[in-house]
């Protein structure tokens, strides 16, 4: 068979020096709306199913999105779905985090008071420390500890996704990341069921109960919902405390980037500290939105719509991430990646219980 001159041949050699014509690999298809549509539609259907189940059966939508995504993992092997799922996992996450900035103002953080705020920092530090210790005990490494500790200390899955962007896939594989997301969603759902009951059993007042729930439950919606399950006063307190944790997302991501350095540098060596502390664009946009909302508060309808949009985009991102995870690697990872999450959750709750009982009147 003759080859046209316009089609250059590729050659390779085996271990014995034989030269043969190699198979030419097709270049990846360009990213267009047409190539993104199949994966995005599949992810959207799975996310809507998770929302429907969450509304009718009372389970957290994030947890259901993870489980449905894992159940549909086999679909990611279809080449037509890859680009859309990758796009959803990466870009929807970033815009979802940006929209969280519509919920926070600097005045809300200042209204907490310096002593309760110091207690909140102690709670977050205990979550980080326990996660790092738990990861070290079971041999998961500091990156797994940072991911679990940061997600527990700040705002659950959204913080985990933001921190994973700093850590990088080359330092923490996606299977352990997915298991961490599952553990965070399970822990948050369990906390929503138990923490309000514990607060009432211990006879805490509304301020103490709201502080406990807002400072220790991971997910934003569940922390706020847990507070209002106790009383309106406790719900208001839980909302302020939880949003203060959300506002600390940007500083924590910056400190983690400074500590760990840039992923994928390899032999290039570490960059100067002032370069390593540079934040991803979506964290910068989150901060800017917080500042804008502080000096020009948005109408309630915009804030509520922003929260709903953020939750939906994060649900899409989590569902797509689960669909792209390799189940074989999840099975190999086993239960060990859950240990840092459990350690951080217990430490966070114990410290929050101590702080709310001693510092909150």
**Can you give the pLDDT of all 361 residues of the chain as single tens digits?**
444 444 444 444 444 444 444 444 445 567 787 888 998 999 999 999 999 998 888 777 877 887 888 888 888 778 888 888 888 877 887 788 788 778 777 877 777 788 888 999 999 999 999 999 999 998 888 898 999 999 898 888 778 888 888 888 888 887 788 888 888 877 877 787 788 889 888 889 988 999 999 899 887 777 877 787 788 788 878 878 888 888 888 888 888 888 886 555 543 444 554 455 556 677 778 888 888 888 887 777 787 888 788 888 888 887 887 787 766 656 666 678 888 999 999 999 999 999 998 877 6
Q: Which is it for the CA torsion 317, 103, 110, 297, positive or negative? A: positive
Strand partners, 20: 12
* DSSP strand pairing (11-13 vs 19-21): antiparallel
Closest Cα partner for 156 from 229, 93, 227, 231?
93
Could you give the C-alpha distances from 114 to 7, 270, 300, 353, 359, in angstroms and in order? 71, 36, 27, 18, 11
For 337, the enclosing helix (H) or strand (E) is none
Q: State how far the Cα of 34 lies from the Cα of 16, in Å rounded to an integer.
A: 45
For 12, the enclosing helix (H) or strand (E) is strand 11-13
Question: pLDDT value at position 48?
Answer: 94
Question: pLDDT value at position 129?
Answer: 93
CA 243 to the chain's CA centroid: 16
Q: DSSP letter for 115, please.
A: H
Q: Are 64 and 189 in contact (CB under 8 A)?
A: no
Strands annotated E in 68-164: none
346 dihedral zone (left: phi>0; alpha: psi -120 to 50; beta)? alpha
Cβ density class 154-178: b for 16+ within 10 Å, e for less: bbbbbbbbbbbbbbeeebbbbbbbb
Q: Are 217 and 192 in contact (CB under 8 A)?
A: yes
Q: State how far the Cα of 2 lies from the Cα of 82, in Å rounded to an integer.
A: 35
Angle at 59 between CA 145 and CA 208, to 5 degrees: 65
What is the pTM (predicted TM-score) of this model?
0.69
């Amino acid at each position: 068979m003759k080859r046209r001159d316009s089609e250059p041949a590729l050659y390779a050699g085996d271990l014995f020096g034989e030269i043969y014509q190699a198979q030419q690999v097709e270049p990846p298809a360009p990213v267009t709306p047409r190539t993104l549509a199949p994966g995005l539609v599949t992810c959207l259907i799975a996310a809507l199913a998770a929302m429907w189940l969450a509304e009718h059966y009372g389970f957290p939508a994030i947890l259901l999105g993870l489980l449905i995504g894992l159940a549909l993992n086999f679909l990611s092997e279809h080449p037509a779905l890859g680009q859309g799922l990758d796009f959803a996992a990466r870009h929807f996450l970033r815009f979802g985090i940006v929209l969280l900035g519509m919920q926070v103002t600097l005045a809300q953080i200042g209204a907490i008071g310096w002593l309760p705020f110091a207690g909140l920092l102690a709670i977050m530090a205990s979550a980080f420390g326990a996660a790092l210790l738990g990861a070290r005990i079971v041999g998961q490494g500091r990156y797994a500890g940072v991911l679990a500790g940061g997600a527990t200390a700040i705002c659950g899955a959204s913080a985990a996704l933001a921190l994973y962007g700093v850590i990088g896939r080359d330092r923490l594989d996606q299977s352990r990341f997915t298991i961490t997301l599952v553990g965070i969603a399970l822990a948050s759902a369990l906390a929503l069921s138990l923490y309000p009951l514990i607060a009432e059993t211990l006879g805490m007042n509304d301020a103490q109960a709201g502080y406990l729930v807002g400072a220790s439950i991971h997910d934003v919606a569940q922390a706020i919902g847990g507070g209002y399950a106790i009383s309106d006063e406790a719900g208001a307190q839980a909302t302020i405390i939880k949003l203060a944790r959300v506002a600390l997302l940007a500083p924590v991501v910056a400190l983690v980037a400074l500590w760990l350095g840039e992923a994928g540098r390899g032999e290039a060596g570490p960059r100067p500290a002032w370069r390593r502390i540079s934040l991803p664009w979506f964290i910068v946009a989150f901060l800017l939105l917080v500042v804008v909302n502080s000096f020009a508060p948005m109408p309630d309808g915009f804030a509520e719509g922003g929260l709903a949009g953020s939750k939906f985009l994060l649900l899409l991102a989590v569902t797509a991430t689960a669909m792209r995870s390799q189940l074989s690697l999840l099975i190999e990872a086993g239960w060990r990646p859950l240990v840092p999450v459990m350690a951080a959750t217990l430490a966070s709750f114990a410290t929050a219980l101590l702080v709310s009982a001693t510092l909150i009147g």
